[in-house]
Structure 1
Amino acid sequence: MAADFWSPVKLSIEIACVSSVMVLFLGLILGRLMAHKTFKGKAIVETILLLPLVLPPTVVGFLLIVLFGRNSPAGQLIEWIFAQPVMFTWWAAVIASTVVAFPLMYQSSKTGFESVDREIEQAARVDGAGELQLFLLVSIPLAFKAIVSGGILSFARALGEFGATLMFAGNIPGKTQTTPTAIYTAIDSGNMQLAWLWVASMIGISFVMLLSVHVTKR
């Protein structure tokens, strides 16, 4: 029972952690870029970046299969490099979690960077700071609360991802079976005790994550 319980929980946390690192990296770069740039078609680009937030998870999963499936150019390239397809692997779960969690990180970091006083950044430039120094030592510290909030929410979203993961990564015990997909399997097989344990663990982790966001915003 203990092994059956902890395997999906451990896998979910591992996938959410790796996904959060990828989301943080992409969210910071694109958030800063979109906060300070104005160009034709910006609204369309932003809409595309935020689409995973409102699309049904099954639609996201379907699009991932189209983009990274064995018949797609990207899928064939990945299979050629790694000698195996990406679908139904640990990395497929990471990709699915990253896609659905990214909009939360992007929106939070963009809001944080927009709140940074441009005069402070300009003063740093006058003092000789390069763009990378400005980004790392001025912009990020000033937008830190928004970035941390976005990171926590993204982690919680990646941890709870179900639909896209089920379609793209499958539900393979010990390999791609995360806690949400394990709950689905447990209910389907009538194992309500195990399902309740997983549900309680997800509620507990999610509660701590949301509480951390409120504490960070103070």
Structure 2
Amino acid sequence: MGDWLGPEEWQAVALSLKVAFWATLGALPLGLLTAFALARWQFPGKQLLNGLVHLPLILPPVVTGYLLLMGFGTRGILGGWLEQIGIVFAFRWTGAALAAGIMAFPLMVRAMRLSIEAVDPRLEQAAATLGASRVWVFATVTLPMILPGILAGTVLAFAKAMGEFGATITFVSNIPGQTQTLPSAIYAFLQIPGGEASAMRLVMVSIAIAMLALLLSEVLAQRLAKRVSGA
């Protein structure tokens, strides 16, 4: 791939994988907790939380990027304070990961929530009547049954993070080698004469990565489903 892609193209691929990985990893714990809360818990403001979770899907990505810039930019509400302790998001790859994670979060939560709602609570209650704690019930009963949903949500989030453009370019700009991810690089190549070939190569790489991720998730989900069913 290194011979097929130029240095700038390879940088965009490597940065996109890095951003998508950390965006997905960072969103995973909060996504699972949020999905579990929406699926099982009753609390004031539940519908508000549900709306906030899905808001990035409804808002134009540029709006999300602008809100991130206002909040986490160096002059933002939180950005100035975070800069004092050495944490900077604006115009850095970490900001691209933050934007991608936020945009991917709704897809992750939805897949996990549907998986949790499909688990029969009577199975968990049966384990609890045998003296198992809530943590043990979750680890031994609930978690194995929702693993396919967790995997599906993780893959969807990774794919979304790989393809995120609007929020990312608004928040961290399009700086080659620093914040230029695959979609940003494709956009940049299409703006210059003779850049169509580079753009097409990156399009092909994007399709290949997405297909590999989906195929891998399908294989792993089938294996997990067979293990859970005892087949």
- Aligned pairs for 1:139-158 (under 5 A) are 139-158=142-161
3-state secondary structure, aligned to 1:110: helix
**With structure 2 as the length reference, what TM-score do the two structures score?**
0.88
Q: CA deviation at 1:214?
A: 4.8
Equivalent in the alignment of 1:116: 119
Distance of 1:68 and 1:90 partners within structure 2 = 13
Out of 68-77 and 164-173, give the one that drifted further: 68-77
Number of equivalenced pairs: 217
Counterpart mapping for 1:154-193 below 5 A: 154-190=157-193, 191-193=195-197
CA offsets, 1:77-123, max 9 Å, x none?
Answer: 210100x6420011101100100000011011111111111111112
Matches within 5 A, 1:126-145: 126-145=129-148
1:170 counterpart letter in structure 2: S
* Equivalent-residue separation in structure 1 for 2:138 and 2:102 (angstroms): 24
Superposition RMSD in Å:
1.7
On the 8 A contact 2:95/2:171 being kept in 1, the answer is: yes
1:45 paired residue number:
49
**In 2, Cα distance between the equivalents of 1:135 and 1:105?**
19
CA drift of 1:170 comes to 1.4
**Cα separation, partners in 2 of 1:137 and 1:169, compared to 1, 3 Å:** farther
- TM-score with structure 1 setting the length: 0.93
Q: Assess if the C-alpha contact under 8 Å between 1:153 and 1:213 holds in 2.
A: no
2:78 is paired with a residue whose SS is helix
Matched, 1:71 2:87: no
CA separation in 2, counterparts of 1:53 and 1:131?
33
- 8 Å contact from structure 2 (residues 35, 110) kept in 1: yes
How far apart are 1:125 and its partner, in Å?
A: 1.9
- Equivalent residue letter for 1:45: L
Contact 2:68 2:99 in 1 (8 A): yes
> Is 1:109–1:146's contact at 8 Å kept on the other side of the alignment?
yes
2:228 corresponding residue in structure 1:
none
Residue 199 in structure 1 maps to residue 222 in structure 2: no
Measure the CA separation in 1 of the matches of 2:24 and 2:61.
18
User: Is structure 2 residue 101 aligned with structure 1 residue 98?
Assistant: yes
Q: Give secondary structure in 1 for the equivalent of 2:153.
A: helix
Change (3 A) 1:89 1:189: same
Q: Which runs of 5+ in 1 are unaligned?
A: none
Gaps of 5+ in 2: 226-231
- Give the aligned partner of residue 4 of structure 1: 8
Question: Could you say if the C-alpha distance between residues 150 and 85 of structure 1 is closer, same or farther in structure 2, counting changes exceeding 3 Å?
Answer: closer
SS at match of 2:179: coil
Corresponding residue to 1:61 among 54, 57, 65:
65
CA distance, structure 1, for counterparts of residue 22 and residue 133 of structure 2: 30
In the TM superposition, 1:5-24 aligns within 5 A as: 5-24=9-28
Report the AA paired with residue 63 of structure 1: L
CA distance in 2, matches of 1:109, 1:175: 32
